[in-house]
Amino acid sequence: MQPTPILQFGTSRFLQAHADLFISQEMEDGQDVGPITVVQSSGDPIRAKRLAALIGSYPVRVEGLVDGARVQETLDVTSVGRTLSTASDWDEIARIFVQEAQIVLSNTGDAGFTPQACDDQPDFDQAMSYPAKLTHLLRLRFAAGGAPIQIMPMELIVDNGKVLKTRVMELAGDDAPEFRAYLDRDVTWANSLVDRIVSQPLEPAGAVAEPYALWAIEAQPGLVLPCQHRSVQIVPSLADIEALKLFVLNLGHTFLADRWRDNAGGDDVLVRDLVGDADEAAHLTNVLRDEVRPAFVAANLADQFDAYVITTLERFANPFLDHRIADIAQNHQQKVERRIAAMLDWAVSKGDHSDKPILSALVTRNTKRSA
């Protein structure tokens, strides 16, 4: 079988409509990238049918707005050459990791990163966390000669590459100094931020996604892009992009959800319904302009903010996306703290001391609710 220089842990519909799609598109355009071996790390037998259906070709349906125009297209993804499961194919996964892999992708979610009691065992155990499984594979690669490799976590964790490296180094705490030096010197741990709304799966494989997509990768010496694609960006720091996503898109969602809660809106209300309502849209755009924008001006990010707001509002208005505001409103107090209270603190840290009466009152109101 053709070697697969990209090894991916995770079978989520997000990966199907994001990295796997990007690599497929660039393979078709002649770039020397891919193919991919996709590994199911959970061992969930329910997902076995999806795993097999990834090979060959599967569809991604892209639906939404681009510069105000409706877009509906179906793309065929052909980048997956082989699929395996850690529960049944560990020896073959280890062979590919040692002999073929140049880049390792992952999106195993918070659950995949959660430490497990068996993580410190000397032998592989399916119940191990993803970082523990990765540590075992890195030991095998080092023992076989220690070729350099690039690890690219895509989990929604700030500084995900740094976090993963720290955990692997902890697990390798009792290993030989030479192996720990290999992890530090010859393994590239890439921090990245990914963004795309993938609204639903298709059966047996595939997904429905919005047109917008981003894979921002923080620059560092020796970094290799998995592919050259319009949605893949190398940036000097992820901090600015993280602030835009958290304090515009995520804050906007939570602001809408807070008004929906106060107005006792119905469970079937969608995000596009709210931004399609002139009054609700005005409340959102006004708070973004009057209370959020000054913080980005102070951070020297005014142009980026203005462009991102336009894109965000278009994403919110996607006529094909049934994004229920009731879903966004789950864990509301925690989201207010992470998205709105944190923005108020961030604004001050950037030198913005302007009044923010609406957002300040929102935070105070929700603090009282949770007391």
Q: pLDDT, tens digit, for every residue of 273-316?
A: 999 999 999 999 999 999 999 999 999 999 999 999 999 999 99
- What pLDDT is recorded for position 44? 75
**Omega of the bond leading into 153 within 30 degrees of 0 (cis):** no
Q: What is the separation, in whole angstroms, between the first and last Cα of the chain?
A: 60
Q: CA-CA distance, 302 to 307, in Å (whole number)?
A: 9
Q: Give ∠ CA 251-249-243 in degrees, rounded to 5.
A: 80
Q: How far, in Å, CA of 209 to CA of 64, rounded? A: 8
pTM of the entire predicted model = 0.91
Domain ranges for the chain: 6-235, 239-370
Q: Hey, CA dihedral for 303, 305, 307, 310, is it positive or negative?
A: negative
pLDDT tens for residues 164-174?
999 999 999 99
Class of domain 239-370: mainly alpha
294 preceded by cis ω (within 30°)?
Answer: no
Looking at residue 264, what is its pLDDT? Answer: 82
Give the integer Cα–Cα distance in Å for 230 and 31: 13
What CATH number was assigned to the domain covering residues 6-235?
Answer: 3.40.50.720
What backbone torsions phi and psi does residue 254 show, to the nearest 5 degrees?
-70, -35
- What pLDDT shows up at residue 109? 82
